[in-house]
Structure 1
Amino acid sequence: MKKTFAFLLVSTLFIGSVSSAAAKPEVITYKNCTELNKVYKGGVAKSASIKNKGGKTKYKPFVSKELYEANKKSDRDKDFIACEK
């Protein structure tokens, strides 16, 4: 009984730490769109419901509110997608 409880506790903690680490991207402020597009080809969108105002794009943007906020200076057309391509 104690071994089963210990196993369940350890496995729950391990799975919880792995899933939370994978869910959050590292928030980096890039100095320009060239640097940001090396990592995120389609740019970074604030929300999945955001639509591009600037025209047709090649790539789908990565969605992250925190990453967008750190790089919103690169959103020239103010459509809540930074450095879209």
Structure 2
Amino acid sequence: MKKLSTFLLTCGLVVGLSSGVNAEAKTSVTKVKTYENCTALNKDYKGGVARSKNVKNKGGKTHYKPYVSKALYDANKSKDRDKDHIACER
């Protein structure tokens, strides 16, 4: 009886762990949103989107701090008119 319960417990753990790995792998793929213009982007991100945390704004003083995301910046790269790696800064 002890061998049977050990076997069932082992099988349950193997099945439980293998299904958790598959669920985690499926959720790792995310789609980045592209915006039509800066007005739409600034509704979600008031300060715009920066490519990295150490970029400097070329256009002068801004009112808001930009959100940092390489993937989001790359998807909306065309909105960075002054090419300072911050799209739609305000």
Q: Tell me the TM-score normalized by structure 1.
A: 0.72
Q: How does 1:5-44 map to 2 (within 5 A)?
A: 5-18=14-27, 20-21=28-29, 24=30, 26-28=32-34, 30-44=35-49
- Residues 1-85 of structure 1 aligned to structure 2 (within 5 Å): 1-18=10-27, 20-21=28-29, 24=30, 26-28=32-34, 30-85=35-90
Identical residues among aligned pairs (%)? 53
Q: Which amino acid aligns with 1:13?
A: N
CA shift, 1:75, in A, is 1.3
Give SS of 1:77's match: coil
**Residues 27 and 66 in structure 1, CA contact (< 8 A), matched pair in contact too:** no
Q: Tell me how far apart the structure 2 counterparts of residues 34 and 16 of structure 1 sit (CA, whole Å).
A: 35
Task: List runs of 5+ in structure 2 lacking aligned partners.
Answer: 1-9
Q: Scaled by the length of structure 2, what TM-score is found?
A: 0.69
Residue segments in structure 1 that go unaligned for 5+ positions in a row: none
Higher Rg: 2
Between the aligned partners of 1:50 and 1:25, the Cα distance in structure 2 is 24
Root mean square deviation of aligned Cα? 2.1
Aligned residues: 81
